[in-house]
Structures are given as structure tokens and as C-alpha cells.
Structure 1
Amino acid sequence: MNDLSQSGAEIAVLGGDGFLGTHLVNALLSQGARLRVYGRNPRERYRNGTVVAVRGNFADGSALEEAVDGASLVYHLVSSTIPSTSNADPIADVQSNLIGSLHLLETMKRCGVNRIVYASSGGTVYGNPRNLPVAEDHSLDPLCSYGIVKVAVEKYLNMFSCVDGMTATVLRLSNPYGPLQRAHGAQGVISVFAHKILAGQNIEVWGDGTTVRDYIYIDDVVDAMLRAAHATHSGVYNIGSGVGHSLNRILEILADVIGKKVNVRYLPKRSFDVREIVLDVRRARAELGWQPETSLEEGIRRYCSTVADQIQTAVRLANAPIA
């Protein structure tokens, strides 16, 4: 795989200060790429001579032209919602994520930028699948606004590809996890569970814990993103491990790796949660030359070794007497 520094052109990373974006930016910098990182509050640590931080509001399209004009490639990683919250306000989801994406595509067209890699959602766009593993040609029947908007963006990317000659590579990611993922939100169960176990806190699980998901380590996701930059034609690719694990199994592995007992409280299941999803990744293997390299057990070991000291320090500070 060629690196992305050879052309000398800049690469725009929208959402480059999030979990996925931070890892991608670091990988691109290691290849010597020149970057523009776009978001509401681009991190100051990216202002290092090879990165230009562009502050803007994706929902209204502000500063998008500054971010993409002259770029050879755009990575679109922006999302202001997550599956578990998107149904609470679908209008806001559409206004921020779908309308924002249309602002981006129109801006790219105006600036003559014709290559984009989009992070879609393999965990939500299919809904409850008819068969497993799920291939890219499966029907798209999402149960949450988050997935519906992802599908809509995919359709617009196809339109711009067919009508305007844009090369659009869609990566339907399963459930990424790894270092730097937020541990105090409603997304990223491995990160959330690991922090709670290490801190000695109780864990709450929606449903009976038998819900199955496809989890993929962040290094494998970044590898797919880098390979997608060299795609010669538009395409849609599942990016996952190709193996499903239940929430209960995740808890078993975490307890074994961390060496602590897990206290779990099971809550009523949620109607928008897909029962089971495992992605078929054969197309990405054949066309992108990509395949997942990290098993769930190895990925969890890597993650826990990275965060264990941080969590234990935080717990000690939280429990320390006030002077």
C-alpha cells in the first residue's frame, strides 16, 4: 500500500478530533501527509506545521470551503448523534448530519474535490438482518434515525458519484474500540465496561446480554481507511471482524483480562437495538486488500493495558481525603 504523502496535496479530515479521527490523523501524519482537521474545536496539538486546524460548524456548513478547497481527498467522519440518542430528535439528526453532509458534497463539487471516504455504520444500516454474516447487498432497514441518516448520506454519495464523477468510498464500520475512546458516554461498550470494572463500579446492560455485535479494533479500522484512499472507483465495504460476540461474552473476556469480578444489572431491552449483527468482509478483502488482524481477546488486552494505570490513578485521586 502506497503512503499518502507522495502527491504533496493536502488531505481534509472532517471530525479529526474524535475517536476515529484522532487515530486516523496520527496514522496519516506518520506517513508524512499534510492535513486539514475540521471540527467545532480542532485540537491545538494538531497545529504542528503539517496540520491546519479549521474551526467550523458542520450543520450549517461554515468554514467547509476552507477545509476542503485544494484537498486531494476528504475523510468524512463527522456525526453529532449516536444510535441510542438519535430517535429522541430525528429532526436535529437530519439537520446536523444529513444537511451537513449535503453542504460538504456541494462544497466539494464547487471546489473541484472529487474523492471522499465516508464512515458509515455497519451496525445500524441493515436493521435486523435476515441472514448472517451480512453482505453489502443486504436490504437496508435501519431501526434508528442514526442509521437512516447514514443510509441517506450513502445514497447522496452514490448520486454525486454517478452524476458528477465523484469517487466515493463508503466504509460500513461495525463497532470500533480501542485507546482514546470515551468511557463515560452511551457508546463504546468495551471502553465503558472496562472503565467500570477497573473502577469497581456496577455495570448496566440493556436486555439479557445475549445481543450480538461485531467488534473491531481501532488499528484495523485505520488500516481500512488508509487503503480506501487508494480506491480507483466508488464502492461500499463492510469493515468488521466478521465474528460476533454477545455482551455477556464481552464481560467474560474483560473480567478474565482485568482479573476482577463483574457486577451486572440487566435492564429491559430497547426496541431500537438490533438483535444480532455480524459483517461479511469478503468484499473489502478482495477489492481493498484489507482484512482484520486483531482478535477480540487481543484487542481487549491491548486496550486494558493502555488504560489500566490511568483509571487506577483516577480512582485513587477520587477517593483521596480532601485537605
Structure 2
Amino acid sequence: MKNDKEGISRRNFTKLSAAALGSIPLMGFDNSLLDSLPGNKDDIQVNLFSKHLQFLDYNNMSEAAAEIGFDGLDLTVRPKGHVLPERSIEDLPKAVEAMKKFGLQTTMMTTNIIDSNDPQSKEVLETASALGLTHYRTGWLTYPEKITIPESIEVHAQKLAALETLNKKLGLYGGYQNHFGNHVGAPIWDIPEILKKTSSLHMGCQYDIRHAIAEGGGSWQLGLRLVQSYINSIDIKDFKWGQKDGKWQPINVPLGEGIVDFDSYFKLLKKYEINVPMSLHLEYDLGGAEHGDSKITIDKKEVFAQMKKDLTFLRKAWQQAE
């Protein structure tokens, strides 16, 4: 397992790489790549998870995100997403064009990609790279009952190492998300193990504080300390515990209304010098927008207003965390 000191070295290497690229004038590098490299700027880059604008087309979702004040969109490029994987060559350029038209950065996308040998996955990543996207979330891994968890980890580690090789070739940063439930990475201690065969430069972790606290409770700070050197993108959301259908479970709520201590969290991110692309998620009741429905049951202005509220909270919380 790699230690914290090595992780800091990896982060410094990325910073130096960004600085080196920035010193080369007009060599064909897309500005979005430079802007999105970890540690490249002091302010945060907040992207809206496009799942919540699934009821709009590319132009309308881009216009809405820009007017609300987002830096970009975390574009869903997966089954039932804004871009279907099998149509990435045809539709991903259209989505990117619309985003650029309204001044949005084209940095992030969320995928179901996990296998570097899958032809469709390669097609999506090659298309994204050519269009200037830099960061993407992978699909999820599982622990099959037929083999032991340590055996599964070895298999998964090799799979992510192979994916990193492809990412490096394409100039992409893949991130595996820690997620509440019976997923690989739900116990945050899995993350270093499944990434142990990578350099963690082009294959790391998309860190989700909501899921980390739901799984880790009061020890989330230790989990963050463990994986901080692997984080190359972040999901932002909040929750509280409650009962639904007679069962205790996490209930998603607007930012600042749940149990996520954003002040402590952001202070730690600054301490570890983690300033990477963020994806804002709104998974509480928004008339179906929270689920990615193509038709919603409330006025879209109500959805936009809540997005603005969460975005304002996020930026203020980041600025105040010292």
C-alpha cells in the first residue's frame, strides 16, 4: 500500500506537469486540459451532474447550467444518459459543442466504463479525449460470491491498471467512486488495494463525501487521509439518516441540511492540497430530476433555483474553510 508521502509526491508531479505544459506556448494543448489538472488553480471548478438535466437537450441544458453559474457539466455518457455509449462518436461532439457555445468547460463525464478491452468503452474514451474531456468516472465493481474478496481485489486491481494504461495514452484521468452499499470501494479501505497496481496518476478515485460518511460514520477523516493521494475528482452531496418504508437509510437533502460537515471536509481538502474538478449532485426530491427522468413533475424554474442554492452554499463553504 502506498503511503501518504508517496501520494503527496504524485500530486506534486501532477502540479509540475501542469506548470510545464503551461510554459509551452500554442502547442496544440486544449485549455480545458490545463484548467482541469489537479492543483492548477485556487478556486474550485464546479460541474453540474447532467443527470439532473436529463429533461433538457444539449443546448438547453448547457444554457441552464451556464446561467445558474456552473463552470461546466459532468456529462452522463452511459446507458440512459445524455450521450448513449453506442452513439458517442455521433452525439458526444454535439454535447461538447453545446457546452462550449455557452462558455462551459468540458472537463468531466460519468460512464459505465471498467474494461479497457471493451471496444465500445475504447470508442467512448477515444472520442472524449479527442474532444478535450479530461476526467471521467468509471463503472462500479462487485464482489462475486464465488471467489473470496482478496481474490476479487487482485482481479480488480489488474483491470484498473490496464485501464490506467489506456488513460495515459489518451491523456485522461479515470476515477473510481466510493459508493454506499455492497460495492467495491464502499469500505474506503478498498480504494488503495484496487489501485495498488496503478501509478494513480491516470487512474484514481472520485471521492464522494456523502457515501464516505454513510459508510464510515465518525471515521471518515481517517478514510480521507488514507485515500487523499488518489483523489482526482470529487462528488458533492449531503444526507441525513431517516426511515423509509420502515427501514433506516440515508436520505438525501440539500447541501447544508444534512450531517456532512463541509467546513471540516473542505479544511482537510485544503490541507491535503486537493483542488480537483467537482461534480454537484442533487439527489433529493426535485420532481424526478433527481433520478434523471426525461419528464419532471415540477416547474423547471424550481429545479434551477435549488441548483443555484446548492451551488451558492458550496462556493461559500469552500471560501470560508480556512
> Normalising TM by the smaller chain, what interval?
0.3 to 0.5
Flag the structure with more relative contact order, 1 or 2, with Cα contacts below 8 A and sequence separation at least 6.
Answer: 2
Structure number with greater Rg is 1
> Larger helix proportion, structure 1 or 2?
2
